Structure 1
Protein backbone atom coordinates (compact mmCIF):
# COMPACT_ATOMS: atom_id res chain seq x y z
CA UNK A 1 0.00 0.00 0.00
CA UNK A 2 3.02 2.30 -0.14
CA UNK A 3 1.96 3.58 -3.57
CA UNK A 4 -1.26 4.95 -2.05
CA UNK A 5 0.27 7.11 0.68
CA UNK A 6 3.91 7.76 -0.17
CA UNK A 7 5.74 10.02 -2.59
CA UNK A 8 6.16 8.21 -5.92
CA UNK A 9 9.42 10.04 -6.54
CA UNK A 10 10.86 7.96 -3.68
CA UNK A 11 9.23 4.71 -4.80
CA UNK A 12 10.20 4.89 -8.48
CA UNK A 13 13.26 6.10 -10.32
CA UNK A 14 13.18 8.74 -13.05
CA UNK A 15 11.77 8.79 -15.65
CA UNK A 16 9.32 6.09 -14.52
CA UNK A 17 8.03 8.19 -11.66
CA UNK A 18 7.20 11.07 -13.98
CA UNK A 19 5.56 8.72 -16.50
CA UNK A 20 3.46 7.06 -13.81
CA UNK A 21 2.32 10.41 -12.42
CA UNK A 22 1.37 11.70 -15.87
CA UNK A 23 -0.68 8.54 -16.49
CA UNK A 24 -2.24 9.02 -13.06
CA UNK A 25 -3.23 12.59 -13.94
CA UNK A 26 -4.82 11.43 -17.19
CA UNK A 27 -6.74 8.75 -15.29
CA UNK A 28 -8.02 11.28 -12.75
CA UNK A 29 -9.14 13.62 -15.52
CA UNK A 30 -10.83 10.74 -17.34
CA UNK A 31 -12.85 9.66 -14.32
CA UNK A 32 -14.18 13.13 -13.52
CA UNK A 33 -14.48 14.16 -17.17
CA UNK A 34 -16.53 11.10 -18.10
CA UNK A 35 -19.08 11.93 -15.39
CA UNK A 36 -19.26 15.55 -16.56
CA UNK A 37 -19.55 14.48 -20.21
CA UNK A 38 -22.32 12.01 -19.41
CA UNK A 39 -24.34 14.79 -17.80
CA UNK A 40 -23.74 17.14 -20.75
CA UNK A 41 -21.77 19.68 -18.74
CA UNK A 42 -19.71 22.40 -20.47
CA UNK A 43 -16.35 21.07 -19.23
CA UNK A 44 -16.29 17.43 -20.28
CA UNK A 45 -13.82 14.62 -20.80
CA UNK A 46 -11.14 16.39 -22.84
CA UNK A 47 -11.26 19.53 -20.71
CA UNK A 48 -10.82 17.68 -17.42
CA UNK A 49 -7.97 15.56 -18.77
CA UNK A 50 -6.14 18.62 -20.05
CA UNK A 51 -6.64 20.51 -16.78
CA UNK A 52 -5.28 17.62 -14.71
CA UNK A 53 -2.41 17.00 -17.12
CA UNK A 54 -1.51 20.68 -17.39
CA UNK A 55 -1.48 21.16 -13.61
CA UNK A 56 0.71 18.09 -13.23
CA UNK A 57 3.22 19.23 -15.83
CA UNK A 58 3.42 22.78 -14.45
CA UNK A 59 4.07 21.38 -10.97
CA UNK A 60 6.75 19.04 -12.30
CA UNK A 61 8.42 21.90 -14.16
CA UNK A 62 8.29 23.98 -10.98
CA UNK A 63 10.16 21.25 -9.12
CA UNK A 64 12.79 20.92 -11.82
CA UNK A 65 13.43 24.67 -12.13
CA UNK A 66 13.74 25.17 -8.38
CA UNK A 67 16.17 22.33 -7.75
CA UNK A 68 16.85 21.29 -4.17
CA UNK A 69 17.29 24.73 -2.60
CA UNK A 70 14.88 26.94 -4.56
CA UNK A 71 11.21 27.74 -4.14
CA UNK A 72 9.50 24.73 -5.65
CA UNK A 73 6.06 26.25 -5.33
CA UNK A 74 6.72 29.37 -7.40
CA UNK A 75 5.37 28.09 -10.72
CA UNK A 76 2.81 25.76 -9.19
CA UNK A 77 1.35 28.60 -7.11
CA UNK A 78 0.36 30.41 -10.29
CA UNK A 79 -1.93 27.50 -11.16
CA UNK A 80 -4.18 28.46 -8.26
CA UNK A 81 -4.79 31.94 -9.61
CA UNK A 82 -4.63 30.99 -13.29
CA UNK A 83 -7.24 28.26 -13.03
CA UNK A 84 -9.66 30.83 -11.68
CA UNK A 85 -9.86 32.47 -15.10
CA UNK A 86 -10.73 29.13 -16.69
CA UNK A 87 -13.41 28.54 -14.07
CA UNK A 88 -14.85 31.99 -14.66
CA UNK A 89 -15.31 31.12 -18.33
CA UNK A 90 -17.52 28.18 -17.36
CA UNK A 91 -19.95 30.38 -15.40
CA UNK A 92 -22.91 31.68 -17.39
CA UNK A 93 -25.59 34.13 -16.31
CA UNK A 94 -29.06 34.25 -17.81
CA UNK A 95 -32.33 35.86 -16.80
CA UNK A 96 -33.15 33.06 -14.37
CA UNK A 97 -29.99 31.98 -12.58
CA UNK A 98 -26.23 31.70 -12.62
CA UNK A 99 -25.17 28.45 -14.26
CA UNK A 100 -21.86 26.63 -14.24
CA UNK A 101 -20.78 27.10 -10.62
CA UNK A 102 -20.45 23.35 -10.08
CA UNK A 103 -18.44 23.07 -13.28
CA UNK A 104 -16.15 25.90 -12.18
CA UNK A 105 -15.67 24.25 -8.78
CA UNK A 106 -14.91 20.93 -10.46
CA UNK A 107 -12.27 22.63 -12.61
CA UNK A 108 -10.72 24.06 -9.44
CA UNK A 109 -10.64 20.63 -7.76
CA UNK A 110 -9.29 19.01 -10.92
CA UNK A 111 -6.36 21.42 -10.92
CA UNK A 112 -5.66 20.57 -7.28
CA UNK A 113 -5.66 16.85 -8.09
CA UNK A 114 -3.26 17.49 -10.97
CA UNK A 115 -0.93 19.39 -8.64
CA UNK A 116 -1.10 16.48 -6.20
CA UNK A 117 0.09 14.20 -8.99
CA UNK A 118 2.82 16.68 -9.86
CA UNK A 119 4.31 16.62 -6.36
CA UNK A 120 4.42 12.82 -6.43
CA UNK A 121 1.33 11.65 -4.58
CA UNK A 122 -0.40 9.79 -7.39
CA UNK A 123 -2.10 7.28 -5.11
CA UNK A 124 -3.66 10.01 -3.00
CA UNK A 125 -4.81 11.77 -6.19
CA UNK A 126 -6.56 8.62 -7.42
CA UNK A 127 -8.22 8.08 -4.04
CA UNK A 128 -9.44 11.68 -3.84
CA UNK A 129 -10.64 11.53 -7.45
CA UNK A 130 -12.80 8.52 -6.60
CA UNK A 131 -14.15 10.44 -3.60
CA UNK A 132 -15.01 13.48 -5.76
CA UNK A 133 -16.63 11.24 -8.39
CA UNK A 134 -18.73 9.51 -5.75
CA UNK A 135 -19.70 12.87 -4.31
CA UNK A 136 -20.86 14.20 -7.69
CA UNK A 137 -22.91 11.08 -8.42
CA UNK A 138 -24.52 10.83 -4.98
CA UNK A 139 -25.34 14.53 -4.73
CA UNK A 140 -26.97 14.46 -8.16
CA UNK A 141 -29.19 11.59 -7.04
CA UNK A 142 -30.02 13.36 -3.77
CA UNK A 143 -30.92 16.57 -5.62
CA UNK A 144 -33.14 14.71 -8.08
CA UNK A 145 -34.88 12.69 -5.36
CA UNK A 146 -35.31 15.17 -2.53
CA UNK A 147 -35.02 18.59 -4.16
CA UNK A 148 -37.43 17.88 -6.95
CA UNK A 149 -36.91 15.40 -9.79
CA UNK A 150 -37.58 16.41 -13.35
CA UNK A 151 -40.91 15.62 -14.92
CA UNK A 152 -41.07 16.11 -18.64
CA UNK A 153 -43.48 17.98 -20.86
CA UNK A 154 -43.88 18.63 -24.57
CA UNK A 155 -43.83 22.00 -26.26
CA UNK A 156 -44.68 22.85 -29.86
CA UNK A 157 -43.42 26.01 -31.53
CA UNK A 158 -44.85 27.30 -34.79
CA UNK A 159 -42.82 29.94 -36.58
CA UNK A 160 -42.13 31.55 -39.94
CA UNK A 161 -38.72 30.30 -41.03
CA UNK A 162 -38.00 33.44 -43.10
CA UNK A 163 -35.60 31.67 -45.44
CA UNK A 164 -33.84 29.83 -42.60
CA UNK A 165 -33.10 32.91 -40.50
CA UNK A 166 -35.53 31.97 -37.73
CA UNK A 167 -34.20 28.41 -37.55
CA UNK A 168 -30.72 29.78 -36.90
CA UNK A 169 -32.04 31.83 -33.96
CA UNK A 170 -34.07 28.92 -32.58
CA UNK A 171 -31.17 26.50 -32.88
CA UNK A 172 -28.90 28.97 -31.09
CA UNK A 173 -31.29 29.21 -28.12
CA UNK A 174 -31.67 25.43 -27.94
CA UNK A 175 -27.88 25.03 -28.00
CA UNK A 176 -27.39 27.67 -25.28
CA UNK A 177 -29.80 25.80 -23.00
CA UNK A 178 -28.33 22.41 -23.95
CA UNK A 179 -31.56 20.89 -25.24
CA UNK A 180 -30.50 17.48 -26.65
CA UNK A 181 -31.08 17.15 -30.42
CA UNK A 182 -32.67 13.72 -29.87
CA UNK A 183 -35.67 15.41 -28.19
CA UNK A 184 -36.29 17.84 -31.08
CA UNK A 185 -38.45 17.25 -34.16
CA UNK A 186 -39.19 19.69 -37.00
CA UNK A 187 -41.94 19.45 -39.62
CA UNK A 188 -43.71 21.77 -42.08
CA UNK A 189 -47.44 22.28 -41.53
CA UNK A 190 -50.08 22.91 -44.15
CA UNK A 191 -49.55 26.70 -43.94
CA UNK A 192 -45.84 26.44 -44.74
CA UNK A 193 -44.85 27.21 -41.17
CA UNK A 194 -42.23 25.23 -39.30
CA UNK A 195 -43.60 23.24 -36.36
CA UNK A 196 -40.91 22.33 -33.86
CA UNK A 197 -41.72 19.91 -31.03
CA UNK A 198 -39.42 18.99 -28.16
CA UNK A 199 -39.38 17.42 -24.70
CA UNK A 200 -38.03 19.37 -21.75
CA UNK A 201 -37.97 19.31 -17.94
CA UNK A 202 -40.97 21.26 -16.65
CA UNK A 203 -40.16 20.87 -12.95
CA UNK A 204 -37.40 23.42 -12.48
CA UNK A 205 -37.64 27.04 -13.49
CA UNK A 206 -34.14 27.23 -14.94
CA UNK A 207 -34.79 24.18 -17.15
CA UNK A 208 -37.65 25.88 -18.96
CA UNK A 209 -36.13 29.36 -19.14
CA UNK A 210 -35.60 28.93 -22.88
CA UNK A 211 -39.37 29.32 -23.34
CA UNK A 212 -39.06 32.92 -22.19
CA UNK A 213 -36.48 33.50 -24.92
CA UNK A 214 -38.87 32.10 -27.52
CA UNK A 215 -41.77 34.22 -26.24
CA UNK A 216 -39.67 37.33 -26.95
CA UNK A 217 -39.05 36.38 -30.59
CA UNK A 218 -41.60 38.00 -32.93
CA UNK A 219 -41.07 35.20 -35.48
CA UNK A 220 -42.62 32.66 -33.11
CA UNK A 221 -46.34 32.57 -33.89
CA UNK A 222 -47.46 30.20 -31.13
CA UNK A 223 -46.14 28.19 -28.18
CA UNK A 224 -48.24 25.23 -27.03
CA UNK A 225 -47.30 23.14 -23.99
CA UNK A 226 -48.69 19.77 -22.94
CA UNK A 227 -47.80 17.15 -20.32
Structure 2
Protein backbone atom coordinates (compact mmCIF):
# COMPACT_ATOMS: atom_id res chain seq x y z
CA UNK A 1 0.00 0.00 0.00
CA UNK A 2 2.92 2.34 0.64
CA UNK A 3 3.95 2.06 -3.02
CA UNK A 4 0.55 3.42 -4.07
CA UNK A 5 0.68 6.56 -1.95
CA UNK A 6 4.23 7.37 -0.83
CA UNK A 7 7.24 8.80 -2.60
CA UNK A 8 9.31 6.00 -4.13
CA UNK A 9 12.53 7.96 -3.74
CA UNK A 10 12.06 7.70 0.02
CA UNK A 11 10.76 4.12 0.06
CA UNK A 12 13.24 2.50 -2.35
CA UNK A 13 16.24 4.76 -2.31
CA UNK A 14 18.71 5.37 -5.12
CA UNK A 15 19.25 3.86 -7.67
CA UNK A 16 16.27 1.49 -7.37
CA UNK A 17 13.73 4.29 -7.15
CA UNK A 18 14.90 5.72 -10.49
CA UNK A 19 14.63 2.34 -12.20
CA UNK A 20 11.18 1.73 -10.73
CA UNK A 21 9.92 5.18 -11.69
CA UNK A 22 11.24 4.88 -15.24
CA UNK A 23 9.44 1.54 -15.50
CA UNK A 24 6.25 3.11 -14.14
CA UNK A 25 6.47 5.89 -16.76
CA UNK A 26 6.88 3.32 -19.53
CA UNK A 27 3.91 1.32 -18.19
CA UNK A 28 1.73 4.44 -18.11
CA UNK A 29 2.64 5.33 -21.68
CA UNK A 30 2.02 1.75 -22.79
CA UNK A 31 -1.45 1.57 -21.23
CA UNK A 32 -2.76 4.68 -22.99
CA UNK A 33 -0.66 4.31 -26.14
CA UNK A 34 -1.86 0.75 -26.79
CA UNK A 35 -5.49 1.89 -26.56
CA UNK A 36 -4.89 4.71 -29.04
CA UNK A 37 -2.85 2.47 -31.33
CA UNK A 38 -5.75 0.01 -31.40
CA UNK A 39 -8.10 2.78 -32.51
CA UNK A 40 -5.60 3.97 -35.15
CA UNK A 41 -5.29 7.41 -33.52
CA UNK A 42 -2.40 9.87 -33.81
CA UNK A 43 0.19 9.75 -31.02
CA UNK A 44 0.04 6.01 -30.50
CA UNK A 45 2.10 3.56 -28.48
CA UNK A 46 5.62 4.84 -29.17
CA UNK A 47 4.64 8.50 -28.88
CA UNK A 48 2.91 8.05 -25.50
CA UNK A 49 5.82 6.05 -24.08
CA UNK A 50 8.29 8.72 -25.18
CA UNK A 51 6.13 11.52 -23.75
CA UNK A 52 5.78 9.94 -20.29
CA UNK A 53 9.39 8.75 -20.23
CA UNK A 54 10.78 12.11 -21.36
CA UNK A 55 8.67 14.04 -18.84
CA UNK A 56 9.75 11.70 -16.05
CA UNK A 57 13.45 12.01 -16.95
CA UNK A 58 13.30 15.80 -17.15
CA UNK A 59 11.60 15.92 -13.75
CA UNK A 60 14.27 13.64 -12.27
CA UNK A 61 17.03 15.84 -13.69
CA UNK A 62 15.26 18.85 -12.21
CA UNK A 63 15.38 17.17 -8.81
CA UNK A 64 19.10 16.44 -9.18
CA UNK A 65 19.78 20.09 -9.99
CA UNK A 66 17.82 21.09 -6.89
CA UNK A 67 20.08 18.87 -4.78
CA UNK A 68 23.03 20.90 -6.08
CA UNK A 69 21.39 24.17 -5.12
CA UNK A 70 19.53 24.82 -8.39
CA UNK A 71 15.92 25.85 -8.92
CA UNK A 72 13.81 22.70 -9.03
CA UNK A 73 10.86 24.37 -10.73
CA UNK A 74 12.67 25.71 -13.81
CA UNK A 75 12.91 22.47 -15.81
CA UNK A 76 9.43 21.37 -14.75
CA UNK A 77 8.01 24.67 -16.00
CA UNK A 78 9.76 24.20 -19.34
CA UNK A 79 8.20 20.74 -19.70
CA UNK A 80 4.73 22.30 -19.45
CA UNK A 81 5.47 24.92 -22.10
CA UNK A 82 7.41 22.55 -24.33
CA UNK A 83 4.69 19.90 -24.38
CA UNK A 84 2.32 22.62 -25.58
CA UNK A 85 4.28 22.90 -28.83
CA UNK A 86 4.08 19.13 -29.28
CA UNK A 87 0.33 19.20 -28.71
CA UNK A 88 -0.10 22.09 -31.15
CA UNK A 89 1.64 20.02 -33.80
CA UNK A 90 -0.99 17.31 -33.41
CA UNK A 91 -3.86 19.72 -34.20
CA UNK A 92 -4.89 19.88 -37.85
CA UNK A 93 -7.45 22.13 -39.54
CA UNK A 94 -9.13 21.18 -42.78
CA UNK A 95 -12.02 22.68 -44.71
CA UNK A 96 -14.59 20.95 -42.52
CA UNK A 97 -13.39 20.98 -38.91
CA UNK A 98 -10.48 21.08 -36.50
CA UNK A 99 -9.04 17.67 -35.73
CA UNK A 100 -6.51 16.45 -33.17
CA UNK A 101 -7.74 18.34 -30.10
CA UNK A 102 -8.24 15.09 -28.18
CA UNK A 103 -4.74 13.96 -29.15
CA UNK A 104 -3.26 17.28 -28.01
CA UNK A 105 -5.11 17.05 -24.69
CA UNK A 106 -3.94 13.45 -24.26
CA UNK A 107 -0.32 14.51 -24.83
CA UNK A 108 -0.75 17.21 -22.19
CA UNK A 109 -2.21 14.79 -19.62
CA UNK A 110 0.38 12.09 -20.27
CA UNK A 111 3.17 14.62 -19.79
CA UNK A 112 1.66 15.44 -16.39
CA UNK A 113 1.57 11.73 -15.50
CA UNK A 114 5.21 11.41 -16.58
CA UNK A 115 6.13 14.33 -14.34
CA UNK A 116 4.33 12.62 -11.48
CA UNK A 117 6.49 9.56 -12.03
CA UNK A 118 9.63 11.68 -12.14
CA UNK A 119 8.65 13.34 -8.86
CA UNK A 120 8.64 9.91 -7.17
CA UNK A 121 4.93 9.03 -7.16
CA UNK A 122 4.85 6.06 -9.51
CA UNK A 123 1.92 4.39 -7.75
CA UNK A 124 -0.51 7.32 -8.14
CA UNK A 125 0.70 7.78 -11.73
CA UNK A 126 -0.15 4.19 -12.69
CA UNK A 127 -3.48 4.40 -10.86
CA UNK A 128 -4.37 7.64 -12.64
CA UNK A 129 -3.46 6.08 -15.98
CA UNK A 130 -5.84 3.16 -15.40
CA UNK A 131 -8.53 5.64 -14.34
CA UNK A 132 -7.91 7.71 -17.48
CA UNK A 133 -8.22 4.64 -19.72
CA UNK A 134 -11.49 3.70 -18.03
CA UNK A 135 -12.80 7.25 -18.38
CA UNK A 136 -11.98 7.36 -22.09
CA UNK A 137 -13.71 4.01 -22.61
CA UNK A 138 -16.85 5.20 -20.82
CA UNK A 139 -16.91 8.51 -22.69
CA UNK A 140 -16.60 6.72 -26.01
CA UNK A 141 -19.57 4.52 -25.16
CA UNK A 142 -21.63 7.52 -24.03
CA UNK A 143 -20.81 9.43 -27.23
CA UNK A 144 -21.74 6.48 -29.43
CA UNK A 145 -24.96 5.86 -27.52
CA UNK A 146 -26.33 9.36 -26.96
CA UNK A 147 -24.72 11.52 -29.64
CA UNK A 148 -25.61 8.99 -32.27
CA UNK A 149 -23.58 7.05 -34.82
CA UNK A 150 -23.41 7.95 -38.49
CA UNK A 151 -26.21 6.76 -40.71
CA UNK A 152 -26.16 6.71 -44.47
CA UNK A 153 -28.27 8.90 -46.72
CA UNK A 154 -28.36 8.76 -50.49
CA UNK A 155 -28.09 11.93 -52.56
CA UNK A 156 -28.58 12.26 -56.32
CA UNK A 157 -27.12 15.15 -58.29
CA UNK A 158 -28.41 16.12 -61.72
CA UNK A 159 -25.96 18.38 -63.51
CA UNK A 160 -24.55 19.61 -66.79
CA UNK A 161 -21.20 17.85 -67.02
CA UNK A 162 -19.76 20.33 -69.55
CA UNK A 163 -17.38 17.86 -71.04
CA UNK A 164 -16.32 16.43 -67.69
CA UNK A 165 -15.45 19.75 -66.05
CA UNK A 166 -18.33 19.59 -63.58
CA UNK A 167 -17.36 16.06 -62.52
CA UNK A 168 -13.87 17.32 -61.73
CA UNK A 169 -15.32 20.11 -59.54
CA UNK A 170 -17.57 17.63 -57.72
CA UNK A 171 -14.66 15.26 -57.08
CA UNK A 172 -12.57 18.15 -55.71
CA UNK A 173 -15.35 19.17 -53.29
CA UNK A 174 -15.77 15.60 -52.06
CA UNK A 175 -12.01 15.36 -51.51
CA UNK A 176 -11.78 18.74 -49.74
CA UNK A 177 -14.54 17.79 -47.31
CA UNK A 178 -13.18 14.27 -46.74
CA UNK A 179 -16.51 12.74 -47.72
CA UNK A 180 -16.54 8.95 -47.39
CA UNK A 181 -19.01 8.46 -50.22
CA UNK A 182 -18.96 4.71 -50.64
CA UNK A 183 -20.17 3.54 -54.07
CA UNK A 184 -20.82 6.28 -56.65
CA UNK A 185 -23.20 5.61 -59.54
CA UNK A 186 -23.15 7.87 -62.58
CA UNK A 187 -25.63 7.79 -65.47
CA UNK A 188 -26.52 9.96 -68.45
CA UNK A 189 -30.09 11.27 -68.49
CA UNK A 190 -32.16 13.25 -70.94
CA UNK A 191 -31.42 16.80 -72.16
CA UNK A 192 -27.68 16.19 -72.04
CA UNK A 193 -27.60 16.09 -68.23
CA UNK A 194 -25.70 13.66 -66.01
CA UNK A 195 -26.99 11.98 -62.88
CA UNK A 196 -24.67 11.00 -60.01
CA UNK A 197 -25.78 9.09 -56.91
CA UNK A 198 -23.61 8.74 -53.81
CA UNK A 199 -23.91 7.84 -50.12
CA UNK A 200 -22.86 10.02 -47.20
CA UNK A 201 -23.53 10.50 -43.46
CA UNK A 202 -26.55 12.71 -42.75
CA UNK A 203 -26.33 12.45 -38.94
CA UNK A 204 -23.68 15.08 -38.25
CA UNK A 205 -23.46 18.65 -39.52
CA UNK A 206 -19.79 18.53 -40.55
CA UNK A 207 -20.42 15.36 -42.59
CA UNK A 208 -23.00 17.06 -44.82
CA UNK A 209 -21.55 20.56 -45.11
CA UNK A 210 -20.38 19.79 -48.64
CA UNK A 211 -24.00 19.89 -49.88
CA UNK A 212 -23.95 23.68 -49.53
CA UNK A 213 -21.11 23.80 -52.04
CA UNK A 214 -23.15 21.72 -54.48
CA UNK A 215 -26.16 24.03 -53.99
CA UNK A 216 -23.99 27.02 -54.99
CA UNK A 217 -22.85 25.44 -58.29
CA UNK A 218 -24.93 26.68 -61.28
CA UNK A 219 -23.98 23.53 -63.20
CA UNK A 220 -25.99 21.39 -60.76
CA UNK A 221 -29.64 21.55 -61.77
CA UNK A 222 -31.20 19.41 -59.03
CA UNK A 223 -30.32 17.71 -55.74
CA UNK A 224 -32.45 14.81 -54.47
CA UNK A 225 -31.87 13.24 -51.06
CA UNK A 226 -33.27 9.91 -49.96
CA UNK A 227 -32.79 8.19 -46.62
CA UNK A 228 -30.91 4.94 -46.93
CA UNK A 229 -31.84 1.64 -45.32
CA UNK A 230 -28.67 1.37 -43.19
CA UNK A 231 -29.11 3.56 -40.11
TM-score (normalizing by structure 1): 0.72
- Equivalent residue for 1:151? 150
Aligned 8 A contact 1:66 1:72 in 2: yes
Q: In 2, distance between residues paired with 1:18 and 1:178? A: 49
- Equivalent residue for 2:139? 139
* Partner SS, residue 152 of structure 2: strand
- Equivalent residue for 1:219? none
Q: In 1, distance between residues paired with 2:129 and 2:179? A: 27
Q: In 2, distance between residues paired with 1:81 and 1:68? A: 24
Structure with higher Rg: it is 2
RMSD over aligned Cα atoms: 4.0
- Equivalent residue for 1:206? 206
Q: In 2, distance between residues paired with 1:143 and 1:46? A: 27
Aligned 8 A contact 1:153 1:225 in 2: no
- Equivalent residue for 1:73? 73
Aligned 8 A contact 2:179 2:207 in 1: no
Shift in alpha-carbon separation, 1:153–1:29, aligned structure 2, 3 A: same
Number of aligned residue pairs: give it. 215
* Partner SS, residue 95 of structure 1: coil
- Equivalent residue for 1:36? 36
Q: Report the more deviating stretch, 66-75 or 112-121.
A: 66-75
Aligned 8 A contact 2:22 2:117 in 1: yes
TM-score (normalizing by structure 2): 0.71
- Equivalent residue for 2:18? 18
Q: In 2, distance between residues paired with 1:209 and 1:45? A: 34
Aligned 8 A contact 2:3 2:123 in 1: yes
- Equivalent residue for 2:123? 123
State the 1:31 CA deviation. 1.1
State the 1:126 CA deviation. 0.6
State the 1:38 CA deviation. 2.3
- Equivalent residue for 1:85? 85
